[in-house]
């Protein structure tokens, strides 16, 4: 029988059979017949022009990549990227931790770490809504006096002990204990806690308080570790630096330098976290004294992310491509608070009007490279859309400001550039925190006011000294400072007349019975529409009385390493709430079938 290869390549039945030879030689002879020999191949590049060679190479590459793309494309069409476990990052914070304890929190650093380690009954979802956390669900009675919480049953403390209603009761009662000296005490006064069973609890209020939900983000503490410690000795406990919570991350280790200062702090993922083990394996924090030190460490690749940064320092980041600059809304504003008790000139509304009309807010916003918006109200309708944004505004008009002062007999008769009325010079003392951004804004305000004939004596003061020597005793005349509203806004502590003295936060010492009544009614109404109407009336009263000059609300700038994915927050109550969904962040990914 004729060999198949011999038959095929000899022209079929009409050709004489080829001479018998080996299979290898047969193939070689066949290739010689259809392909150029080796010598011809050697000279092929010389036979083609440079342009032709490039075309051949390009076409060859296209063919190769097309062939490879088929299986790769198919693979990607039937799979999708999903978060995977692993990875770590290092974040820089200003100031070392002291009390990582929900009842003793004092600094942003303490709050940041506490947010990761502890959980509350509720939490902000990153969009401005409260959702269950340690609670499965909750209900509010029709009269607004009883809040009932059903608790999760699958929650473990980092020690392995089971979380229960006893821990909630212990935490609240300790907050109410005067010996503990907790800043949380005032928000829990008059609240009765009732244990229904191990997984259910009730809070009973004496009066309806619509913003009570703000209290329920308080981190719950483990009673099995703290109950043997006297509340007066809480500040001495090692648990303040080596805390135990139920949150997504747990304490691993800390390092100190030769002077006992904490230089770094490491947390690891809580494998038993009730919402599922976090994807990122560990988070390390490094601590710095100033923002300048923080930025320098980032520029030297000492850290991946930075806890907030002032807009004036954004441009100092040497490798901005390493981070994604998250711009987040926080319900806060900066204003100049006018203490009429300390200045006769400020008690004259015409002077306050002139001050307001001579402030160039647009220039302030332009100087905030990280972004922000002008503020004209204590309610922030720019953030909380329910409130009326159609309000009275004191537009920048320095000529009108001068006219107001002229008409009210504040005139510069001796030509020294300072207005006077009778024997009184129009001089006002102005204090601002010693922070780069606020000092710059303070200087601009000073220049604006001096341009209309008001002498301003401005002093920049370190924050601690400002708090102790000026804010607590209320000894300033004008104060540049910021206030933070809650996610569920409650301006009571900032504007009610009962809050004029420390520890109240009524920095303008505002006293208006009508405003007091509106604030009280808004607090006690569970009807959201009623609350909004009361707050709208309240903001109009404040704007008309002009106890403060509202300036701007800056965005919170969070430079976060680009290797982290899954950050989706938009509105935070506090900077520490950037970690509220940290269990969903991830660095590594894996492809799985759809």
pLDDT tens, residue by residue, 233-289 = 999 999 999 999 999 999 999 999 999 999 999 999 999 999 999 999 999 999 998
Interval 327-336 mean pLDDT? 93
User: Where does the pLDDT of residue 204 fall: very low under 50, low under 70, confident under 90, or very high at 90 and above?
Assistant: very high
Interval 5-21 mean pLDDT? 40
Query: 372 and 334 in contact (C-beta within 8 Å)?
Result: no
Interval 156-167 mean pLDDT? 97
Q: What pLDDT is stored for residue 15 in this prediction?
A: 43
Interval 383-392 mean pLDDT? 90
Query: 99 and 235 in contact (C-beta within 8 Å)?
Result: yes
pLDDT greater than 60 at residue 40: no
pLDDT greater than 90 at residue 192: yes
Least confident interval from 30-39, 290-299, 455-464, 503-512: 30-39
Query: 91 and 101 in contact (C-beta within 8 Å)?
Result: no
Distances from the Cα of 547 to the Cαs of 223, 399, 442, 504, in angstroms?
45, 22, 18, 16
Average pLDDT value over all residues in the chain: 89
User: Where does the pLDDT of residue 29 fall: very low under 50, low under 70, confident under 90, or very high at 90 and above?
Assistant: low
Is-above-0.85 flag for pTM? no
pLDDT greater than 60 at residue 392: yes
Interval 435-447 mean pLDDT? 92
Q: What pLDDT is stored for residue 7 in this prediction?
A: 31
Least confident interval from 39-43, 181-185, 253-257: 39-43
Q: What pLDDT is stored for residue 44 in this prediction?
A: 55
Q: What pLDDT is stored for residue 405 in this prediction?
A: 97
Alpha helical stretches, state H, 413-471: 436-450, 463-466
Q: What pLDDT is stored for residue 22 in this prediction?
A: 56
Interval 413-426 mean pLDDT? 93
Burial classification of residue 115, based on how many CB atoms lie within 10 Å of its CB (0-12 exposed, 13-18 middle, 19 or more buried): buried
Q: For residues 500 and 33, give the distance between their C-alpha atoms in angstroms, rounded to a whole number.
A: 103
Q: Give the phi and the psi of residue 329 in degrees, each rounded to 5.
A: -85, 135
Interval 14-40 mean pLDDT? 51
Q: For residues 102 and 491, give the distance between their C-alpha atoms in angstroms, rounded to a whole number.
A: 23
pLDDT greater than 50 at residue 395: yes
Strand, helix or coil for residue 369: coil
User: Where does the pLDDT of residue 5 fall: very low under 50, low under 70, confident under 90, or very high at 90 and above?
Assistant: very low
Query: 508 and 337 in contact (C-beta within 8 Å)?
Result: yes
User: Where does the pLDDT of residue 502 fall: very low under 50, low under 70, confident under 90, or very high at 90 and above?
Assistant: confident
Q: For residues 390 and 381, give the distance between their C-alpha atoms in angstroms, rounded to a whole number.
A: 9
Pairing type for strands 282-288 and 88-94 reads: parallel
pLDDT greater than 60 at residue 459: yes
Interval 358-377 mean pLDDT? 88
Interval 421-446 mean pLDDT? 93
Query: Above pLDDT 90, what percent of the chain?
Result: 69
pLDDT greater than 60 at residue 429: yes
pLDDT greater than 50 at residue 11: no
Interval 124-145 mean pLDDT? 93
């Amino acid at each position: 029988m004729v060999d198949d290869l011999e038959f095929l390549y000899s022209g079929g039945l009409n050709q004489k059979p080829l001479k018998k030879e080996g299979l290898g030689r047969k193939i070689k002879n066949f290739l010689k017949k259809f392909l150029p020999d080796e010598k011809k191949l050697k000279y092929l590049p010389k036979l083609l022009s440079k342009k032709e060679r490039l075309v051949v190479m390009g076409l060859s590459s296209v063919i190769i990549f097309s062939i490879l793309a088929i299986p790769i494309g198919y693979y990607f069409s039937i799979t999708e990227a999903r978060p995977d476990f692993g990875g770590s990052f290092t974040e820089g914070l200003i100031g070392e931790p002291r009390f990582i304890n929900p009842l003793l929190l004092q600094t942003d650093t303490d709050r940041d770490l506490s947010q990761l380690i502890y959980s509350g009954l509720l939490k902000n979802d990153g969009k401005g809504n409260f959702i269950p956390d340690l609670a499965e669900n909750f209900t509010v009675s029709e009269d607004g006096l009883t809040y009932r919480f059903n608790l999760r049953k699958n929650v473990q403390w980092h020690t392995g002990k089971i979380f229960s209603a006893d821990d909630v009761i212990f935490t609240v009662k300790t907050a109410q204990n005067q010996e503990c000296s907790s800043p949380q005490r005032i928000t829990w006064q008059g609240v009765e806690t009732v244990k229904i069973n191990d997984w259910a609890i009730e809070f009973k209020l004496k009066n309806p308080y619509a913003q009570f939900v703000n209290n329920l983000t308080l981190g719950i503490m483990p009673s099995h570790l703290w109950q043997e410690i006297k509340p007066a000795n809480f500040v001495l406990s090692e648990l303040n630096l080596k805390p135990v919570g139920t949150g997504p991350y747990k304490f691993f280790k800390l390092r100190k330098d030769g002077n006992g200062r904490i230089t770094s702090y490491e947390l690891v993922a809580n494998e038993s976290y009730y919402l599922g083990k976090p994807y990122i394996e560990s988070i390390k924090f490094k601590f710095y004294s100033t923002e300048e030190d923080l930025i320098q460490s980032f520029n030297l690749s000492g850290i991946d992310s930075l806890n907030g940064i002032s807009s004036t320092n954004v441009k100092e980041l040497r490798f901005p491509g390493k981070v994604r600059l998250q711009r987040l809304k926080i319900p806060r504003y900066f204003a100049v608070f006018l203490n009429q008790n300390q200045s006769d000139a400020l008690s004259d509304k015409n002077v306050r009007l002139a001050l307001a009309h001579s402030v160039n807010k647009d220039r302030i916003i332009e100087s905030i490279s990280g972004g922000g918006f002008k503020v004209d109200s204590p309610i922030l309708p720019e953030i909380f859309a329910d409130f009326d944004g159609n309000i009275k505004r004191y537009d920048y008009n320095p000529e009108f400001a001068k006219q107001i002062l002229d008409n009210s007999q504040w005139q510069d008769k001796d030509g020294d550039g300072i207005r006077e009325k009778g024997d009184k010079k129009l001089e006002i003392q102005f204090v601002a925190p010693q922070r780069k951004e606020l000092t710059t804004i303070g200087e601009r305000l000073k220049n604006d006011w001096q341009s209309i004939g008001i002498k301003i004596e401005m002093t920049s003061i370190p924050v601690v000294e400002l708090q102790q020597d000026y804010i607590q005793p209320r000894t300033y005349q004008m104060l540049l400072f910021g206030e933070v509203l809650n996610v569920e806004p409650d301006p009571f502590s900032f504007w009610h007349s009962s809050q004029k003295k420390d520890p109240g936060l009524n920095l303008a010492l505002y006293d208006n019975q009508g405003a007091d009544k509106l604030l009280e009614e808004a607090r006690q109404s569970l009807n959201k529409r009623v609350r909004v109407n009361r707050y709208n009336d309240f903001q109009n009263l404040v704007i008309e009385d002009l106890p403060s000059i509202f300036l701007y609300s800056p965005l919170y700038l969070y430079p976060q390493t680009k290797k982290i994915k899954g950050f989706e927050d938009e509105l935070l109550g506090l900077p520490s709430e950037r970690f509220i969904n940290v269990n969903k962040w991830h660095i590594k990914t894996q492809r799985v079938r759809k």
